[in-house]
Amino acid sequence: MLFKQVVGLEEIKGKLRQMVQSGRLSHAILLTGAEGTGALPLAIAFAQYLVCEKLTRKGEATDLFFGEQSANSDLIPVESCGVCASCVKASQLIHPDIHFTFPVFTKKSGDKPVSADFITEWREFISGYPYGNLYDWLQFIQAENKQGNISAYECNDIARKLNLKSFEGGYKIQIIWMPEYLGNEGNKLLKLIEEPPPDTLFLLVTENESLILPTILSRLQIIKLPKPDLQEIEQALLAQDGISAEQARSLAAVSEQNYRVALKYLQDGPEDWQGILRDWLNAILKTGPVTQVKWIEEISKLGRERQKQFLQYFIHLLEQAIRLRMSGGEQRAALPTSEYDFAVRLNRIADISCQQSIIEELNNAVYYIERNAHGKMLFHALTIRFSHVLRQHEVPVFT
């Protein structure tokens, strides 16, 4: 993976290059960023950058990365070449000196699974879903309702691999995705992280650094990643095949600066969220309980990920309605026509305090869905709640 394939994060990419150029690359780095920021793709791109023969030819690995500033440091490239043997292997996740650790699950009692047991699935997953989260990964390997974790056996395997001699005569890179799932077993890695074998680099990638063991966290150089802005997401979406400028802008707008969310909307295909939302509001305001029950039955069939997308889209429209109201209509040019019309109608049936109350309820619902809430019960509760809130207004029908 190349740096240019990672959405945004230009300042962070520059910082990583500067560490290499100055010879001050830490032997243990934590990349921390919210879901959809691209921390894992960045780690993979950086690993490829470090093994690229175009870069390592500038000097010995130890001198260039962990020692004094190289005499040729001004010639260090800003991107891996992507064509040398090392880059090709790194891009396919088969470079023998780049190791991966990630949460896995026990398929049957008595198993002692490690990441290497799932490496084929991991390569396929990263190829198709580089911005995927832990839920996506566990679904991909058919973990169903089982929890993923990084076990003591994995820690032992990391120590074993890193104490071996480098296969290609350079240094070794250990990428640990979701180190918050190490638990207390992570203490097995303390000495290894603090005093790694020669020419060894740890790259840890997390969405929540507060869940990492403090003993491990204190031994890492922490680099915080900002969320991509909407323009960066829009430009990245435009690079996808078969997407129009208006569609890219709309997907970026509902992504909440989360590129994974934008990709999920794109990969799952078009859905008439406005039509579904219109039916829901009319069932609440006009047609009554029978239609409400039918609507709840239909929405419960969509599955958890699609239900989240629907709720997030509703939140997006409510936020646009509030902005439209507060700006006196000046936000109209920034919205697709269909969203503008819908936002106007939302403003007719609810004032700002009502809209804010609904947004809070919707955010809570997203939280509960992520934690396996029962879909029918959740949407039934939302329907009752919104019925009480919306019926306080004089306009009874959403047309």
Rounded distance between C-alpha atoms, residue 130 and residue 42, angstroms: 10
| Strand partners for 206 | 32
Q: What is the pLDDT of residues 290-309, one digit of tens each?
A: 999 999 999 998 878 788 87
Q: Do domains 3-227 and 271-390 have the same CATH topology?
A: no
Written as six digits, the tokens of 161 are: 């691999």
Q: What is the pLDDT of residue 158?
A: 94
Q: What is the pLDDT of residues 212-255, one digit of tens each?
A: 989 999 999 999 999 998 889 888 888 876 777 877 877 787 77
Backbone angles phi, psi at 101, to 5 degrees: -130, 135
Does the structure show a pLDDT above 90 at 120?
yes
Written as six digits, the tokens of 43 are: 């780690």
Choose from 58-67, 88-97, 281-290, 369-378 the range with maximum mean pLDDT: 88-97
Q: How many CB atoms lie within 10 A of CB 328?
A: 8
CATH fold of 271-390 reads: Zinc Finger, Delta Prime; domain 3 (1.20.272)
Rounded distance between C-alpha atoms, residue 119 and residue 389, angstroms: 50
Q: What is the pLDDT of residue 62?
A: 47
Q: What is the pLDDT of residue 70?
A: 47
Backbone angles phi, psi at 32, to 5 degrees: -125, 130
Order of strands, sheet of 98-101, starting from the edge strand that comes earlier in the sequence: 98-101, 172-177, 200-206, 28-32, 221-224
Does the structure show a pLDDT above 70 at 399?
no
CATH of domain 3-227: 3.40.50.300
What is the residue-averaged pLDDT of the chain? 85
Rounded distance between C-alpha atoms, residue 249 and residue 129, angstroms: 21
Extended strands (E) in the chain: 28-32, 98-101, 172-177, 200-206, 221-224
Question: Hey, where are the domains in the chain?
Answer: 3-227, 231-267, 271-390
Percent with pLDDT over 70 in the chain: 89
Q: What is the pLDDT of residues 64-76, one digit of tens each?
A: 555 554 444 455 7
In this predicted structure, which of 40-44, 98-102, 355-359 has the lowest mean pLDDT? Answer: 355-359
The alpha carbon dihedral of 316, 321, 326, 327 has a sign of: positive
Choose from 93-102, 144-153, 176-185, 242-251 the range with maximum mean pLDDT: 93-102
Q: What is the pLDDT of residues 3-50, one digit of tens each?
A: 999 999 999 999 999 888 888 888 999 999 999 999 999 999 999 999
Q: What is the pLDDT of residues 305-348, one digit of tens each?
A: 788 878 988 888 898 888 888 876 665 655 667 778 888 888 88
